[in-house]
Every structure is written in C-alpha cells, then in structure tokens.
Structure 1
Amino acid sequence: MELTFVKCSGKYDGLTIVRHDGTTDSIACPKQRIIPHEMVHYAVESVLSNRGFLSLIREGQSAAFTTGGEDSSEAIERMVETFQAELWGERASAADLISTYEHACEARGHSIATVSADDVEAIRDRLSELTLQWDSLPQNGALTVRF
C-alpha cells in the first residue's frame, strides 16, 4: 500500500492511500504542529506486527471507519497517542514510555500490545526520519511511503 502525505495550507494536510488492488482513499489530516497523526500510525505499525488503523485499511476497510473498539487496534491507537505525546513534549526513557502506554491501555480497559525497548527505539528512529522529511517539505510538497 502506498501512502502519500501532502503538506497543505490551512488547517489540514492530506493523505492519499493507494491499496495494492488500486483502490484509493483520502483523509484530511488535522494539523498538529508535528507530523500528521496517520504518519505516526505508519511509524508504529511499520515496526510492530499488530493490527492498527493502517493495517485495517490495507485489508480493505474504508479510511472513513473508526476502529470501533477492536482490542488490538485500540492498543495500537494508545501507542500512537503515546508517541504523539512524546513528539509534542520531551523524550522519556523507553521504560517510562512503555509504562505510560501500558497505563493508558489499562485505563481504557483493553489489552496491551507487546512492545520492547528495541521497538521503542526503532519507532523513534522512524519518527525522526519522517519528521526531518516532513519538515523539509515546501507547502504542497508530498512524502510517499510504502506500507
């Protein structure tokens, strides 16, 4: 699957998704002063094998769906939120990030996806690469990744 993120003017950036079968979807990504939320999903889901939002889209779900409380996708959503919070603030130790993630899952009453300190560092590396690429894009510039 190909994901093309476009840095737009205004309140939203864009994402066009092209699945392996050629079907497409588009998402308006609210600007959040860091990389788009769905790009954080890409970083997390491309490192881990758990099924999250992008994995479900790759399997044929419409981009307009919500995860609907499926336990594995909710666990990935909490992980994406944890990494987003770190992008907005300061980097914590891998152990502290994992603890924060586990607490968020427990507070929402769903399972915890297995994540190691090595996974955290791999996701952080991917987020750093994406952030550098995204920040260097001009308005209307595009960044395409394969998932």
Structure 2
Amino acid sequence: MELIFTKRKDGKYDHLAIWNAGELRGEIECPKQGIIPHDMVHYGVEHILQKRGFIGRVAAGEAAVFQMQGEAESNGVERLVEVFQADGWAGWSTAAEDMLDLYQVTCAARQCPALPLQVADVEQVRQELLRLSALWQTTEPGQSLHLEFTSRD
C-alpha cells in the first residue's frame, strides 16, 4: 500500500491519498499541526511495531473514514499515536519511561487495553518519527512524500 502525503501551499490542511494495488482507497484532509501529520504518526507507529491501527485496517480493506468501529488493538494504537503526537509537540524529547507511563494512563482513561511495550519500542518508533519529520521538513509546499506500508495481515 502506498501513502502519499502532499504538503499543501495554502490553507489549514495537508492531504493524504491512500493507494492499494493501483486503486485509490481513500483521501484524508490532514490538519496542519506544526509537526508531521497525525496519519504519518500512525504510519511510524504501525510500521515499526507491526500493529494494526488505522493504516493497517485500511490495508486490510476497511474504508478510510474519520471514525472507525473500535477494536482492542487499533484502540491501543490510537492511544499510542496520541502519546507520540504529544511528544512531537514537546520537541520529540520526552523520556521513553514517561511516555510509557502516559500511555498506560491514557489507555486506562479510555478503557482500552494497552499494547505490551518496552522502552526499546518507544525509542525505535521515535527514531522513525524523527526520520519522517526530517523528510517532511524538506518536502516543499506542493510536493509529496511517498511511503510504502506493508501490513502484517
């Protein structure tokens, strides 16, 4: 599956087009947030951890819609994406142990099972998000960043 993130020149949104086997599977308006787009954080988390979240579910055939029906693993992925997104807003520098603690609190508050994660998992995902951030920063308005996603399904 190919994810094409396009940095728009104007407005409050960037764009994501999701292609699978030559077919457009969905398009998403991604609010500009000062860091990489939310769905690019999903890519980093799901790609590195090989967990089924939004992108993995679309790869498996679900429609790319704003709000999907809840699933235990994808709910856990969404909470983790939120924690990494907050880390990005803080400069990608939160201690991995603190991120794991925040993740546990977030999952408990949303009553969803947390994914079994270690400090090394957080550090691997962060390295991928830093790589993606560097690529996104060098993507000029009007240009696109192409990412390949292979799901575990």
Q: Same fold (TM over 0.5)?
A: yes
Alignment partners' CA distance in 2, 1:112 and 1:102: 6
Matched residue type, 1:118: A
Counterparts of 1:128 and 1:27 in 2: how far apart (Å)?
Answer: 22
User: Which amino acid in structure 1 is aligned with residue 68 of structure 2?
Assistant: T
Once residues 42 and 31 of structure 1 are traced to their aligned partners in structure 2, the CA distance between those partners, rounded to angstroms, is: 17
Q: Report what 1:20 is aligned to.
A: 21
Aligned to 1:84: 85
Please show how residues 59-74 of structure 1 align to structure 2 within 5 Å. 59-64=60-65, 66-74=67-75
Asked if the contact 1:95–1:117 (Cα under 8 Å) also holds between the matched residues in 2, the reply is yes
Q: Say if 1:67 and 1:74, in contact at 8 Å, map to a contact too.
A: no
How many angstroms apart in 2 are the aligned matches of 1:102 and 1:67? 22
- Cα pair 2:17 2:24 within 8 Å, conserved: no
Partner residue, 2:97: 95
- CA 1:50/1:17 → structure 2, altered by over 3 Å: closer, same or farther? same
Structure-1-length-normalised TM-score: 0.95
SS in 2 for 1:17: strand
Identity %: 40
Number of residue pairs the alignment of both structures matches: 147
For structure 2, list consecutive stretches of 5 or more residues without a partner in the other structure: none
CA contact 2:25–2:63 (8 Å) conserved in 1: no
Question: Which ranges of 4 or more aligned residues in structure 1 deviate by more than 6 Å?
Answer: none
Counterpart of 1:114?
116
Q: Is the 8 A contact 1:30 1:36 kept in 2?
A: yes
**Structure 1 Cα separation of the partners of residues 76 and 68 of structure 2:** 10
